Structure 1
């Protein structure tokens, strides 16, 4: 049995992974810990095989007053817990980074591949990248490091852009039919990927994503369908969107291109529990036939 410690007791990813691994009670023993105060420094980590570090600030802010806090939490805290884990004999450290380290979707036509160099566009992304660079040198034969750079994570109870789009899909009669591509990752697909990382005692940088790219308009249409609603996709606004998409960040996040090449996300074992359509049904909790 592998003993796993997850940092961040209120983390959406952390809680989801614990629930996923708890389905295998004879294989994994999972505990969680808060890093909000210094009490974690007194905890003995020698009993754990794996530390999954998901604690951190997980939203983008442009407030310069928060910059130091981002580096303190996302970088410095990551380094501190990784060093402690290594010193106390933990065998594997899994760090939840993000696609955010690559900046905006104007890079290489929005396609990230093995040759793409991370260029963060804000201090949130840079704090994650600096954390990666700081913990990689800690790795050795007895201390494996896994860095995950997932795209937008969604699922039941998730926060961010997905629930906003889902709410819109339930209400709007029409939506722009604008062609774009986004990488996304359903939470259960991520949980299974992490389980495989643990099973295989992996190390390295990984880019898990769903096996299908998402067009925002099609995502809205699929969500609406799970509620028995129809959304009319229209192209009348496309010329305007083509212009403001490059100038206004919020529109770029919705209608811009940002994907990992599929080759980058392949793994030797299948971790995609759900297809896109299946994941939408599961997320929206509709008792529909897929």
Structure 2
């Protein structure tokens, strides 16, 4: 039987990618509509005909360094309060499932260069800034809405990347194409290719799941490996690691950028297991697809 899915949040990267993925892979399984949450009339929209609400409306990629109190409040208003109001409406409309996109950011920043942060089932969330806290507060508000007839799903993905994605990946891609050489850093990052995420969400909706999930690619990524896949001809030079080490010790923005690029932060792999296989693409395959490279 075809399930009806409503994506709450228009023009988001994840929402539009998911809609396209379903059309290309499972066109008969889901019928998908999208609702623009910027229009205040969303509250009048009929939710009752849907089996699942996939909530992707939110503000991400914050420059958290110099932000007004007004902007901070906007993050809470959108990432937390709007999600809760949408879930409440879904529950009142007898929708069976509500999916919320949280983030690995609820655990704070990655470990500094040279150290590894491994997140396990026992790791407690500890947001480092208002963006992470706005996501965590949404989770806290949503969880009590769970009932046998209304399933709450919370997803805490790591960095998501794919064709035309935003955030850190396109910055790294530009550097890979421009720099003559790159340091040989063996850091580890949990990452998630957009189509692997879309397959995972498809399975969660198909199986009418509930609970907290931590999807990630099968293999951890290293910054140097990503650069090497993007541009195999780039010179990887170990002595440049000294420069990275020095930059990581400079207080302020430089060490922050350095740790963001070369620090380590991973989910323990056992957290990401699921009864159905969702990682359709390996790390190398996904980077090639992201870059539009055929080899």
- TM-score, normalised on structure 1? 0.95
User: Within 2, Cα distance between the matches of 1:231 and 1:204?
Assistant: 43
Does the aligned pair in 2 maintain the 1:22–1:30 contact within 8 Å?
A: no
Partner of 2:78: 73
- Residue in 2 that maps onto 1:53: 55
- Aligned structure 1 segments of 4 or more residues deviating by more than 3 angstroms: 106-109
Q: CA contact under 8 A between 1:148 and 1:206: conserved in structure 2?
A: yes
* Alpha-carbon shift at residue 89 of structure 1 (Å): 0.7
Determine if the alignment matches structure 1 residue 29 to structure 2 residue 46. no
Q: 1:153 aligns with which of 155, 160, 166?
A: 160
- Name the residue aligned to 2:68: 64
Unaligned runs of 5+ in 2: none
Q: Which residue of 74, 84, 87 corresponds with 1:82? A: 87
Higher deviation after alignment, 245-254 or 126-135: 245-254
Contact (CA 8 Å) 1:245, 1:255: kept in 2 or not?
A: no
**Once the two structures are superposed, what CA deviation does each residue of 1:79-126 show, in whole Å capped at 9, x if it has no partner?**
000000000011000000000100012399311010100100000000
Distance 1:259 1:267 in 2: 17
**1:132-281 matched pairs, under 5 angstroms:** 132-225=139-232, 230-245=233-248, 247=251, 248-281=255-288
Q: In 2, distance between residues paired with 1:82 and 1:243?
A: 47
Contact 1:245–1:256 (CA under 8 A) maintained in structure 2? no
Q: Which residue of 1 is the match for residue 10 of structure 2?
A: 9
Moved more, 233-242 or 4-13: 233-242
Q: Cα distance 1:244–1:117, how it changes in 2: closer, same or farther (>3 A)?
A: farther
For 1:25 and 1:13, the matched residues in 2 are separated by: 18
**Residues 173 and 227, structure 2, Cα contact 8 Å, conserved in 1:** yes
Question: Contact 2:182–2:240 (CA<8 Å) still a contact in 1?
Answer: no
List alignment gaps of at least 5 residues for structure 1: none
Number of residue-to-residue matches in the alignment: 284
